[in-house]
A and B are shown apart, each in its own frame.
Chain A
Amino acid sequence: MKTIVAITLKGIFRDKVFQGIMVTALMFLFIPIFASLSMRQVTELTITLSLSLISFILLLLSVFLGGTSLWKDIERRYTFSVLGLPLSRRSYLLGRFGGTALFVIIAASVLGIAAFCVVAYSSSIYPSDRPIVWGSMILCILFDALKYILLIAFAFLLSTVSTSFFLPVFGTIAMFVTGGVTQQVYEYIHSPASKTLSPFLKQTATALYYIIPNFGAFDLKLYAIYGLPLPANGLLMTSAYFVVYVGLLLSVSSSIFTRREMR
């Protein structure tokens, strides 16, 4: 499995899509200029833009790498040769996933360092009233990475049942969009404003709230930007949620993949 992780990483680094996406990272260079245009709260704005850019790049990476990893192996018939080795389907899938997840962490770290440089530079020119809480920024990026790893686990699940790249890629995007608003929908449904909705609709929405991953919980941007104290309990809950959810997704994926026929 370790070798599959290594092979996966190698594959990503040599991939054109990855190289293209990383060019997007050059946008970091423009952030201080953009931010300085606002003339107010330049540091806060720099942090916001940096974190959003990281999030955006990680989203692209996870949709394209997560959504196409397994599918491409099957489509290009690599699975025939690799699964003919004494390697269980399960370790293959976990190795592929592990490699992709590890890559997201590496990418997040590299982008994080770039963000730190940019923020440090901005704040040295336009000193902020608030101290910058570097720890919160790190946690924010870390949880962002976890969010995308969860998304990748979803993409893998979709890949195991799909024969085209359509479902994994667009399904993952759809999941990301819905997963980002479930919290709001949930809150709306449980607020007095939703009285007019039918109870059935409410129940369905509530059920979906528990099924669809809640990506909102992983968003720590506000804490990082305004240096607010972090909710330790909430983070712990989110971490546990991450572990359980990813664990479930992977075990379902690997049992489907184990049964799948390589035609």
Chain B
Amino acid sequence: MNAIETVSLSKQFTGKKRARVEALKQLDLQVAPGEVFGFLGPNGAGKSTTIKLIMGLLRPTSGSASIMGMDVAQAASRRVVGFLPENPAFYDYLSAEEYIRFVGSQFNMDASLLNRRTEEVLKRLDLWEARKRQMRGYSKGMVQRVGLAQTLVHDPEVYILDEPMSGLDPIGRALVKEIILDLKKRGKCVFFSTHITDDVEKVCDRVGVIVQGQLRALDSVENIMRSGIEGYLVQTRQHVGNQAALQEFKAIRSNEQFVEYLVPVAQFQEFMALVGESSVEITLLETKRRDLEAFFLDIVENGKSA
């Protein structure tokens, strides 16, 4: 059974003067339990729309979605979910502690467990000092932290986070990555949206790229990183061996000490054979890859022109 599944999920907004926006087109997606899935896309791509559909906040124009096999039209499908909305807002007249308790009680947690978990998550997100203050006095990042804390308190199986790192300082971002990796280790499913490729590269198993409401790429981070290998940077020592043997490969840099070559993957074998024959000394070998950022930018560019 999939932790999250969408079948031809589509959403059309009808705005003023009947202007239609196709925010999401025929999305088919399966996210497995235990998987960390990054949902990547530029502004206005349809990430939040997808998440709101999965959370039952919007109704699909067509198609369907389910969480742990349960249709999202039922409130019970959210029993196993910790959900962080985009730029969240919580009852600002409550304190963080009161709100976390309120959330816990919605999941029927028993009192002693709730006490313990509330303390745990508030401390983890560095809200312990502020826990008794009304949230109307919180900074943006603090509210975001409350948002994360309330997804964790009931220890659900599935986490749906809309831009979890937004509004956080570098320490906070690092903390979120750590939390996500920790959840992964414990076999939880995390589905989060972002436009920051670096976050995805560090924590995700799989990534989906959405542009203008359409899923343009769906692959494991590992595959993308591997397919992103463009070639190898080979640094050799100047004046050692017969450099002339390598002349069909263009040196990209040459100085008193070193000569550097950029060798395409396909010609690497051939290059290394020549190196062996000519007794050239290799001082450094580096993989040259396009990072996820470049991959993402490519897809977005192609997506826009398509």
A262 touching B58 in the complex, CB below 8 Å, given contacts A80-B85, A81-B85: yes
Can you list, as one digit per residue, whether each of A68-112 has a CB less than 8 Å from chain B (1) or not (0)? 000000001111111111111100000000000000000000000
Say yes or no: is B217 at the interface (Cβ < 8 Å to chain A): no
| 8 A Cβ contacts from B31-79 to A | 52, 55-59, 75-79
Check B91 against A78 for contact (C-beta < 8 Å).
yes
Among the 9-residue stretches A3-11, A37-45, A167-175, A238-246, the one with 4 or more Cβ atoms under 8 Å from chain B is A3-11
Among the 9-residue stretches B99-107, B119-127, B175-183, B220-228, the one with 4 or more Cβ atoms under 8 Å from chain A is B99-107
Check B57 against A86 for contact (C-beta < 8 Å).
no
In the complex, what residues of B have CB within 8 A of residue A81's CB?
83, 85, 88-90, 147, 150
Check A84 against B106 for contact (C-beta < 8 Å).
no
In the complex, what residues of B have CB within 8 A of residue A89's CB?
75
Check B58 against A77 for contact (C-beta < 8 Å).
no
In the complex, what residues of A have CB within 8 A of residue B52's CB?
80, 262-263
Q: CA–CA, A11 to B52, complex, Å?
A: 26
Which residue on chain A has the smallest CB distance to residue B86? Answer: A80
Number of A-B contacts (CB under 8 A): 75
Interface residues on B, range: 20 to 34
Check B106 against A3 for contact (C-beta < 8 Å).
yes
In the complex, what residues of B have CB within 8 A of residue A78's CB?
89-91
A7 touching B91 in the complex, CB below 8 Å, given contacts A86-B79, A87-B106: yes
Check B147 against A85 for contact (C-beta < 8 Å).
no
Check A86 against B59 for contact (C-beta < 8 Å).
no
Check A76 against B89 for contact (C-beta < 8 Å).
yes
Q: CA–CA, A14 to B13, complex, Å?
A: 37
Q: What are 24 A-B contacts defined by CB distance under 8 Å?
A: A3-B105, A7-B91, A7-B94, A10-B93, A11-B94, A15-B93, A78-B89, A80-B57, A81-B85, A81-B150, A83-B55, A83-B57, A84-B57, A84-B81, A84-B85, A86-B75, A86-B76, A86-B78, A86-B81, A86-B107, A87-B78, A89-B75, A261-B57, A261-B59
A interface residues (Cβ-Cβ under 8 A, vs B): 3, 7, 10-11, 14-15, 76-89, 259, 261-263
B interface residues (Cβ-Cβ under 8 A, vs A): 13, 52, 55-59, 75-79, 81, 83, 85, 87-94, 98, 102-103, 105-107, 134, 147, 150
Q: What are the 9 tightest A-B residue pairs by CB atom distance, in nearest-first order?
A: A84-B83, A80-B85, A262-B57, A86-B78, A88-B75, A14-B93, A77-B89, A85-B106, A86-B79
